[in-house]
Amino acid sequence: MECPHLSSSVCIVPDSAKFPNGSPSSWCCSVCRSNKSPWVCLTCSSVHCGRYVNGHAKKHYEDAQIPLTNHKKTEKQEKVQHTVCMDCSSYSTYCYRCDDFVVNDTKLGLIQKVREHLQNLENSAFTADRHRKRKLLENSSLNSKLLKVNGSTTALCATGLRNLGNTCFMNAILQSLSNIQQFCCYFKELPAVELRNGKTAGRRTYHTRSQGDNNVSLVEEFRKTLCALWQGSQTAFSPESLFYVVWKIMPNFRGYQQQDAHEFMRYLLDHLHLELQGGFNGVSRSVILQENSSLSASNKCCINGASTVVTAIFGGILQNEVNCLICGTESRKFDPFLDLSLDIPSQFRNKRSKNQENGPLCSLRDCLRSFTDLEELDETELYMCHKCKKKQKSTKKFWIQKLPKVLCLHLKRFHWTAYLRNKVDTYVEFPLRGLDMKCYLLEPENSGPESCLYDLAAVVVHHGSGVGSGHYTAYATHEGRWFHFNDSTVTLTDEETVVKAKAYILFYVERQARSGSEKL
């Protein structure tokens, strides 16, 4: 939006302002010393944490307004308002009086000057940090600072994703998908598509909703983001170009409010699938899928047209079987799926933690059984029987006709009660290895002994009480190690920590080699 308060609130000049040392994205709040979501006031250059940490940036603005409300306003007080601040990670600007993000600038272009200055500080800090790491590598004492895995020494090369303003839902999904190797490798091997030329070539752009550029490719920006992860060249990557494309082609996700990670994942996969079907710039990218021998025709599941890598990896087929309770007529329908949404059975909904004593422990198998068990449809879901020629009571049962290469399981933790969407905070036990899906198959006798076993690749977790609030993080395994992805922060973790998580989305990868691991 066009903010009218910039002339009275943006006062700092980058060359003379006293900024903290180090990279702006890691600056600490001057009150609580937290380095998460730092914001710099464009009036006095003080740094405070954002409203989703401890909210000291907003409190700084509110404290500055007290003299203006309790006393007679002087000319100086009218000019200095501390209402505009800048995110030190994404460089987006926010006005507390307008309560919205700002897209305009002052007549002297001070906001852009501050933005460029912060970016220069960030780049300088990154260069210095890279030089420091190079020195460490040259030092023989590095061996004690590196991580030992299976007797060998390796360096932590994971890259985080910066939060652009409540984009943790997107970051958690992107980190999970980046650790599904076959899916990630396909996109990383795609040829690059250059979308910018002329004056904008090679320059970093700051997109806003008001821009009318339709020449965007979700596949290309998704490819660039995946390529930036796991290179080890930076600690955090800012996916603003991908987020801009999301705004352009997925209107539901415009703005900076919290979103549902599962809903975003479905929109993302659907749009990737559609764009891959049509190609980009006249070049069909299904050719690469056809050339990839590991994604054979027998593994493809078509959804809305031709198969792509999305359906080849995530696509499965359900058989929906409905029986009329009056005449016994049976109706069968086959439905393709990219993920399965599982209810948490009502008898387990008071079990909040793994160690809680009251009540039985809910397992992923309980949720799968609830999904596939025979169910009698209620009065609001009467079946139109073609033999009876009217709506009748009936039963419904799901069978899995074809399992996907990557099984995505969504636990339905959010449900509507009256006017509120509440969260089911039940702990659901899930296996790290050997999830056996054979008993849920329509024809289990036709499957091999190993073809129904799945091992966990990633978990998305929602922290908080509601879908419109809280925070998303992800756990994922990479080359035998488990990592915790919390926006720009990536830490090594262990299996004991992963299995205690209250999973929201689980990504299981089909097992390729025979193992002696226990089954679920």
> Which residues, 6+ apart, have CB-to-CB distance to 73 below 8 Å?
none
Please identify which of the residues 207, 463, 471, 478 carries the catalytic annotation. Answer: 471
For residue 283, the cross-strand partners are 280
Q: How many CB atoms lie within 10 A of CB 26?
A: 18
Residue 29 appears among annotated catalytic residues: no
- Beta strands 414-417 and 406-411 are unpaired
Single out the residue of 520, 410, 387, 492 nearest to residue 459, CA to CA: 410
Q: How large is the angle between the packed helices 218-228 and 181-188, nearest 10 degrees?
A: 110
Check: CB of residue 25 under 8 Å from CB of residue 160. no
For residue 471, the cross-strand partners are 463
SS (H, E, C) 394-420: EEEEEEEEECCCEEEEEECCEEEECCE
Q: Round to whole Å and give the CA distance between 207 and 121.
A: 21
Cα 142 to Cα 46, 62, 129, 135: the distances in Å are: 37, 48, 15, 9
Q: Round to whole Å and give the CA distance between 23 and 91.
A: 13
Sign of CA dihedral 276, 280, 284, 289: negative
Q: Round to whole Å and give the CA distance between 196 and 439.
A: 51
Residue 168 appears among annotated catalytic residues: yes
Cα 318 to Cα 263, 362, 438, 506: the distances in Å are: 20, 24, 14, 19
Q: Round to whole Å and give the CA distance between 132 and 137.
A: 9
Single out the residue of 254, 98, 114, 107 nearest to residue 170, CA to CA: 254
Q: Is 28 exposed, middle or buried (0-12, 13-18, 19+ CB in 10 A)?
A: middle
Please identify which of the residues 88, 168, 324, 408 carries the catalytic annotation. Answer: 168
Q: Round to whole Å and give the CA distance between 421 and 384.
A: 31
Check: CB of residue 9 under 8 Å from CB of residue 94. no
Catalytic residues: 168, 471
